[in-house]
Amino acid sequence: MKKSERNEIIEKLTQIGKDVIQAVERSEIPKIEIPSRTTSNIVYDPEYLCYVIGDKKVKRSAGNIRHIRRLAQLLRVARFCKEEMQKSLRHTTKRELYYISESWEKGLKFDEQVESDNIIEDIEAMIGRPREDFRIIPNPRGSIYGDITLRYTTPKGDVKEVNCLDTPDGQAIGPRISEAEIIDCKADKVIAIETSGMYNRLMEEGAYHKFNAILVNLEGQASRATRRMIKRIHELLEIPVYIFTDGDPWGLHIAMVIMAGSAKSAHINRQLATPDAKWIGVTASDIKNYKLRSDKLKEVDYKRIKELSKDPRYKKDERLKKELELWKNLGKKAEQQALLRYGFEYVVEKYLPTKFKELG
Amino acid sequence: MKKSERNEIIEKLTQIGKDVIQAVERSEIPKIEIPSRTTSNIVYDPEYLCYVIGDKKVKRSAGNIRHIRRLAQLLRVARFCKEEMQKSLRHTTKRELYYISESWEKGLKFDEQVESDNIIEDIEAMIGRPREDFRIIPNPRGSIYGDITLRYTTPKGDVKEVNCLDTPDGQAIGPRISEAEIIDCKADKVIAIETSGMYNRLMEEGAYHKFNAILVNLEGQASRATRRMIKRIHELLEIPVYIFTDGDPWGLHIAMVIMAGSAKSAHINRQLATPDAKWIGVTASDIKNYKLRSDKLKEVDYKRIKELSKDPRYKKDERLKKELELWKNLGKKAEQQALLRYGFEYVVEKYLPTKFKELG
C-alpha cells in the first residue's frame, strides 16, 4: 500500500471521531450514520454487475440510551485502528481485537466477539474500505506464483522485494503480500485456480512460462484478500484474468464471486470485484465434449442451479445461462482433475490454449 | 530429499514388483503381504509413546479371484510412483491419481477414488514411508517463518535456496519445501502455533529473533507434511520443539498428535512423530493463573476430556494428566489470543519466557 493511500484511510478513520467532536462543539447531540447492511438495502448494480449497498442508513445517536454504548465502542475501535496504523506495522485479527478490548476503558469491553465483528463491518461500510485496509486481517487463504515482483515491509520494518517465482510452493497471500506494492510484472495474464491440486499441476507443467501467466491458488472460494489481489493486478497492469474451477455450479459460483462479489460483502464489492474476469470452466459443455468422468448431480446441486438461474448476475450473460441450462439437462458434474484422463500435460497443451482462443 | 533417500524409496517401490516377478519365475503363485491397518492391529508402543502397527498382515494372492484386480492395481500404482520419481519432478494428488488411472491398461481403472486412496495407504504401510515420500501429496497446510535456509528444486528443475525469513507471510509447507534439504539454520528452537492469528502475532512481535526461533503455523490440526517438517528439523538440528495451542482439550490433542501421531496414521507414525516435543499450553492452569477470558466447557469438550484421559499417551505424563483433570474441575476453556488482554507484547515478553524457563 502506498503511503498516500494509508494516509487517506487514517484520515477517514479520524474523521469518524472528528464529526462527533464537532457536534459536541456545536452543542449538538453527536450521531453517526452507517450504511445499512440489511438485505433490504442490498441492490443490484447492473452497470458494475454486482450487488452493492443502497442509500439506507442506520443512525446511532448519543441521545439514545440504547445506542450510546455501541456508538462509543465504534469510536473506540476506529481509534484503535487509526492509532495502530500510525504507530506500528501490526495487523490484528478480529479475534485479537475482541480480547484487546478487555484492556480498554470500562464499559467498552465487548461481551461477545460477534459485537466487535459487527462494528468492524460498520466501519468498512462507513469508510467504503475492506477491513484489511485498516489492518484487521482475516486468516490468510490463497497463494500466488509467477513472474511478478512485490515490494513489502517485513514485520521488523525493513522494505524488501520478492519475486513470486522465488517462493518454492507459491507465495501465501497474507497481510504483508496483500499490502505489497507491485513493482514489476512480466506476465500478461492471470489464471486463478480453484484447487491446490490443479494449481500445483499448472506449476509443474510450466503453465506460468508457457502462457506467461501469474497463477493464483484460490483454495476453494476465494478469500477477500485474494479477490483484492486479483483486482489490483488486473487494474494496475491491465491484464486479463481467467478463472479455472471444477465443473459444477459451485465452481461457476466461485468464479462469479470473483467477478461480481458476494451479497455478504455488498458494502465493499466495488473494492473487491473484477467484472472483466472470464470463467474458463470446467463448463457443462466441456464435460460433454471432453468426455470427462463425471458424477451425477445431487438434489443440492439442482437446487443450486435453480438459485443461480434466478440471480441477476447470471441473467445478463448468455454463455453462463446456457451452461447452467446444460448442466441441468446433462445431470452431471466433473472435477477439474478429470482432464488428467488424457495425461498430465493435456491441460496445458490442449485444454487451456483452446480456452484462451475461445474467450479472447 | 537427498538423492540417496530418493533412490532408496524407488528401490522399495521396485521391490514390490520384483517379488511378484520372482514368484512367477519360481512358478509360484504371486502374492503380496500388506501390514494390516485395521483397529485390531494398531498397538501402543510405550517406548516411542505412539500408536504403531502390529505384526498382522493381509495377504493378496493372484490365486484368489477376489484379490487379483486389487493386487494388479497396487502393482500399477507402485509402478506409476516409481516411474514418475525416476523421470520427472512431478507431485501427484490422490485425486489426480484416480483420474490418471483412466488412461491405464483395461481393468485397472478405479471405480471410486476411495479404492485408489486405499491402495496408496497399503503402499505406505508396505514400504513404511508416508506417501509424500513417493510424491503422492496432500493439499498443503501449514507454513514456516524463521532463519532457516532450505535448498529446493523448482518445478523447472533448477536448484535454488530460500531463507524462510525472506518470505513475507511465511513459507508454505508445500511439496517442494517438504522435500527441501536443510542447509543452514541459525535458530535454536521451534515454536509450533495452532492459529494463524497467533502465528502472525509472534511474527509481528519479533518472537523469531527474541527467542531465536523458527515459527511454524499449524493452521489447526497439523498436516502430515508439517509434522514431518517439525520432526526433520528437530532430529537434524537437535533443537527443542514447543507447541503453543488454544487452551482446550482439542488444543492439547493437536500437540499430542505432533508428539505421538494419530491412530489413523499408525502405519507411519514412527516417521512423523516428535516424542520430545513439549506442549506450552494454553494450559488449564494458565486460564486460572493468568485470569484469561474463558468460555464454559460444553458437553462435547467433557466427552473429549474423558476420551483423552483413557488414552495411554496421556497416562504416562503427570503434567498432562493433571491438566486434563484441572480442565474438568475448572469447567472452562480459553483461546490463545485471550492473552492479549495484557496487550500485544505480553505473549513474547512474559508468557513465553516463563514457559521456556518452566519446560526447560
* Statement to judge: residues B213 and B314 lie in one domain: yes
Integer Cα distance of A303 and A301 in angstroms: 5
Chain B residues within an 8 Å CB radius of A293: 99, 102
Chain B residues within an 8 Å CB radius of A103: 341-343
* Statement to judge: residues A167 and A238 lie in one domain: yes
Smallest CA-to-CA distance from B111 within A359, A15, A293, A203 is with A293
- Considering only CB atoms, B90 lies closest to which of A100, A155, A204, namely A204
* Statement to judge: residues A20 and A114 lie in one domain: yes
What is the per-residue pLDDT for A139? Answer: 86
CA of A94 vs chain B CAs: smallest distance (Å): 9
What is the per-residue pLDDT for A54? Answer: 93
* Statement to judge: residues A222 and A112 lie in one domain: no
* Statement to judge: residues B42 and B79 lie in one domain: yes
CA of A315 vs chain B CAs: smallest distance (Å): 34
B162 neighbors B149 (Cβ within 8 angstroms):
yes
What is the per-residue pLDDT for B149? Answer: 98
* Statement to judge: residues B103 and B228 lie in one domain: no
Of all residues in chain B, the one with the smallest CA distance to A343 is B100
| A99 catalytically annotated | yes
* Statement to judge: residues A203 and A340 lie in one domain: yes
The residue out of B89, B120, B137 marking a domain boundary is B137
Going residue by residue through chain B, which has 360 residues, state the pLDDT in tens, using 9 for 90 and above.
788 999 999 999 999 999 999 999 999 999 999 999 998 999 988 887 788 999 999 999 999 999 999 999 999 999 999 999 999 999 999 999 999 999 998 889 999 999 999 999 999 999 999 999 999 998 889 999 999 999 999 999 999 999 999 999 999 999 999 999 999 999 999 999 999 999 999 999 999 999 999 999 999 999 999 999 999 999 999 999 999 999 999 999 999 999 999 888 999 998 999 999 999 999 999 999 999 999 999 999 999 999 999 888 888 889 999 999 999 999 999 999 999 999 999 999 999 999 999 998
* Statement to judge: residues B330 and B239 lie in one domain: yes
What is the per-residue pLDDT for A262? Answer: 87
DSSP B344: S
For an interface test with B, give the residue of A114, A167, A341 to mutate (most B CBs within 10 A). A167
What is the per-residue pLDDT for B311? Answer: 86
CATH of the domain at B20: 1.10.10.10
Integer Cα distance of A173 and B184 in angstroms: 26
* Statement to judge: residues B228 and B290 lie in one domain: yes
What is the per-residue pLDDT for A360? Answer: 84
Angle between helical axes of A249-260 and A224-237 (0-180°, round to 10): 60
Give the domain range for residue A282.
143-359
Question: Which is catalytic among the residues B44, B48, B99, B346?
Answer: B99
CATH of the domain at A275: 3.40.1360.10
A269 neighbors A52 (Cβ within 8 angstroms):
yes
C-alpha cell at B351: 508468557
What is the per-residue pLDDT for B86? Answer: 95
Q: Is A329 exposed, middle or buried (0-12, 13-18, 19+ CB in 10 A)?
A: exposed
**Is B99 in contact with A293 (Cβ distance < 8 A)?**
yes
What is the per-residue pLDDT for A31? Answer: 94
Integer Cα distance of A91 and B283 in angstroms: 26
What is the per-residue pLDDT for B3? Answer: 87
**Is A99 in contact with B293 (Cβ distance < 8 A)?**
yes
Of all residues in chain B, the one with the smallest CA distance to A344 is B100
What is the per-residue pLDDT for A195? Answer: 96
**Total domains, chain B:** 2
Q: Give the E-state strand segments of chain B in sequence order.
A: 31-35, 42-45, 50-53, 57-61, 92-93, 136-137, 143-145, 148-153, 159-163, 171-172, 181-185, 189-193, 213-217, 241-244, 278-281, 295-296, 332-333
The residue out of A89, A112, A137 marking a domain boundary is A137
Q: Give residue-wise pLDDT tens across range A33-67.
A: 999 999 899 998 888 778 899 999 999 999 999 99
Integer Cα distance of B172 and A142 in angstroms: 11
**Is B167 in contact with A167 (Cβ distance < 8 A)?**
yes
ipTM beyond cut 0.95: no
B333 DSSP β-pair partners = B295
Chain B residues within an 8 Å CB radius of A180: 168
* Statement to judge: residues B303 and B324 lie in one domain: yes
What is the per-residue pLDDT for A7? Answer: 95
SS3 B82: helix
Integer Cα distance of B213 and B206 in angstroms: 10
Integer Cα distance of B355 and B189 in angstroms: 13
Chain A residues within an 8 Å CB radius of B102: 293, 340-341
CA of A40 vs chain B CAs: smallest distance (Å): 34
Q: Is the torsion defined by CA of B267, B272, B274, B280 positive or negative?
A: negative
Q: Give residue-wise pLDDT tens across range B25-49.
A: 999 999 999 999 998 999 988 887 7
The residue out of A83, A111, A137 marking a domain boundary is A137
What is the per-residue pLDDT for A47? Answer: 80
On the question of pLDDT at A114 being above 90, the answer is yes
Q: What share of chain A in percent tops pLDDT 90? A: 89
B243 neighbors B280 (Cβ within 8 angstroms):
yes
- Reported confidence tier of residue A315, pLDDT bands at 50, 70, 90: confident
* Statement to judge: residues A110 and A149 lie in one domain: no
**Is A172 in contact with B172 (Cβ distance < 8 A)?**
yes
**Is A341 in contact with B100 (Cβ distance < 8 A)?**
yes
- Reported confidence tier of residue A227, pLDDT bands at 50, 70, 90: very high
- Considering only CB atoms, B197 lies closest to which of A95, A155, A168, namely A95
* Statement to judge: residues A102 and A241 lie in one domain: no
pTM: 0.94
Region of A27 please: left (phi>0), alpha (psi -120 to 50) or beta: left
